[in-house]
Amino acid sequence: MARKDAIAKLKSVLVSRRDALRKALDGDFSALQALRDQASGDVVDFALDSAQDELNSQLAEVESRELKQIELAISKMADGSYGNCEICEKNIPLARLQALPYASHCIACQTKVETLGEGWNREEENDEIFS
């Protein structure tokens, strides 16, 4: 399968996931609001509501992060830069994109980011990694 065809299929996967996340986030925020609006009866109810509120909040945070990554990937498809590593600018292997359609780094650069953090000196490190 040509890379271009595979990327076109990945776009539909990303759009579907984006729509599902938007719907889920709407539900998560509605659930959080409903929990806050409820009048708790006793300390146990309050503790359970607080725990559920925290779980919903964390889930919404994870979903929001994924949604931002997906929206960035879709915008990169529109401008033609999708599938290029943001650091070394080489093509991200198709197998990686199929596993994680919103990947923005190749495996080598992602490993470096995870090891050294987002702020590592990209120009100097790129010379060492890719020379």
Q: Are 97 and 41 in contact (CB under 8 A)?
A: no
Strand, coil or helix: what is 102? coil
Q: Which CATH number fits domain 1-82: 1.20.120.910, 1.20.200.10, 3.40.630.10, 3.30.2290.10?
A: 1.20.120.910
| Distance in angstroms (rounded) separating the CA atoms of residues 24 and 70 | 15
| Distance in angstroms (rounded) separating the CA atoms of residues 119 and 122 | 8
Residue ranges per structural domain of the chain: 1-82, 83-131
The DSSP call for residue 2 is -
pTM of the model: 0.72
Tens digits of residue pLDDT in 11-48? 999 999 999 999 888 876 666 666 566 655 666 666 66
Tokens at residue 12, please? 């539909």
Query: How confident is the prediction for the chain on average, in pLDDT?
Result: 83
Strand, coil or helix: what is 84? strand
